[in-house]
Amino acid sequence: MLSQRVKAALIFVPLVLILIYIGGWVFNLFITGLLLLAAYEFVRLFNQMGYRPSFLVASIGILLIIIQRWFFEVQHLSMLLSFFLFFVIVAALFEYERGKVDAAFNLAINLMISLYLGWVGSHFILIRALPEGLGWLLTALPAAWLADAGAYFIGREIGEKKMTPRLSPNKTWAGLCGGTLAGTLSSLLLVLLWRSVGFLSPDTPIWQGLVMGFVVSILSPAGDLFISLFKRTAGVKDTGNIIPGHGGILDRIDTWIWAGMLGYYLIIIF
């Protein structure tokens, strides 16, 4: 299983890094595709719980947010979200009239999927578009990856006290501490590296890398636990099987999108 995970990671991670480096419309389209695939898996999770949200409706919401992030100024976001809310409500009214008694639940689920994946996930586009977005995205995202790896190996070796025994039985407090340490130190080293190759300004403070690594490492696991809540409710281990050894797209990007969002707002604060 571990070998399968490593093989998949050796293909998937370099692909992501290359697309981050390229940036522009190529990167934005890649992120859009990932979020839509994740939405499809999210809809399937709810199907297994007995609900019938609409992948089409959820996708429209995600696309509207991405379009705003990509092409328009921030003041257009409220207009697009207002339009989408009206659209979802009207769609739910028609569903109920057609005999779907769970239309109200589906409406709430459609909104949640759209806003969660669209709002949080679209921060990838925002952070990459910043003047030094390449360097900071290549700091925040690896911090989440290395924190996850550190938590896995340290938790497996010395982890005893379970952090969330019901949501994610393999997570331990020792793993969280080890992952936070790994993510924090790796971010410091990455800032030094990106300064030396011009991805970040030479005068970028090292402490900013430490802060970003710490915040991303300690908070991004919440994204994993959030998706685990739905997987446990649906009684499944993974959201899909598109990536051998890793499960679905939603399983992979559950912490990534938090890393992108947290990284973006930390840069704004810096």
What pLDDT is recorded for position 26?
92
CB-hemisphere CA count at 13 Å for 22? 13
Tokens of 5: 């995970």
Residue 226 has what pLDDT?
87
pLDDT at 102: 78
**Neighbouring residues of 89: CB distance < 8 A, sequence distance ≥ 6:** 107
pLDDT of residue 214: 92
Residues 6+ apart with CB under 8 A from 104: 92, 96
Tell me how far apart the alpha carbons of residues 59 and 267 are, in angstroms, rounded to a whole number.
Answer: 29
Quick one: which H or E segment has residue 169? strand 168-172
Q: pLDDT by residue (tens digit) across 44-72?
A: 888 888 888 888 888 988 998 898 888 87
Give the number of residues written for the chain.
270
| Residue 268: HSE in the Cβ half-sphere, 13 Å Cα cutoff | 11
Q: Which two tokens stand for residue 242?
A: 């598109």
CB atoms within 10 A of CB 163: 19
Q: What is the DSSP string of 96-162?
A: HHTT-TTHHHHHHHHHHHIIIIIIIHTHHHHHHHSTTHHHHHHHHHHHHHHHHHHHHHHHHHH--SE
Helix 103-113 to helix 55-71 angle, to the nearest 10 degrees?
Answer: 30
The token pair that represents 267 in the structure block: 């840069």
The total of structural domains in the chain comes to 1
Range of the domain at 8: 2-269
Q: Which of the residues in the chain have pLDDT under 70?
A: 1-11, 74-75, 155, 157, 159, 240-247
